[in-house]
Structure 1
Amino acid sequence: MLKVMSLLKRADGLSKEDFARWVVEEHVEFARKLPGLRKYTVSVSEGEDAAFDSVNALYFDDEPARAAAFGSEHGKAAAADAAAHTSRRVHLLTTEYEQL
């Protein structure tokens, strides 16, 4: 299974509270429409000075499924929504190994 870790920094002028509400309540609606998405989690950072304001994890069966999801109409809409609410985004493609 492929796991995409998205680290998001809120847009300038967007409060921590407004960002948290957006990422947990609004942006998740885009994720629900992504074809092939198996699991989606959002972790909102604590404190005002965190390097990133959330870490989102998206799970896909494999790279072709991820590419198809992000290349879809819904994937492009999700990216545009994220770009409108963030000043920085970093995506890491990973394979998860559960240790405990």
Structure 2
Amino acid sequence: MSAKKLLFLFLAAALLLGGAVVGVAFYFLRPLKAERAALEALARPSLTLREAPYGLELVPKAPKALLAFYPGARVEPLAYAPALAPVAEAGYLVV
């Protein structure tokens, strides 16, 4: 094989590998979106949803205690609303 063909194959392989790395990184670094059930869980009259600099707050009418919840990686915090709405309805401020 000539040096030009070898260089071309090397550059093509490097470009293909670089594109694959960028594609995989783009796929894995995007957060997963909340489903419709999460949005419906927040349509309760006894809860108020507030956006804070550190995330979301589920605020009941008369909060009696605080629950600090740390969402998982790559998941939009709103996706946890169906699981946390009953806790907030029980009177706990969920942050």
- In the superposition, the TM-score normalised over structure 1's length comes to 0.23
Give 1 or 2 for the bigger CA radius of gyration: 2
Structure showing greater relative contact order (alpha-carbon pairs closer than 8 Å, 6 or more residues apart): 1
The TM-score normalised by the length of structure 2 is 0.24
Question: When you count helix as a share of all residues, which structure comes out higher?
Answer: 2
More strand by share: 1
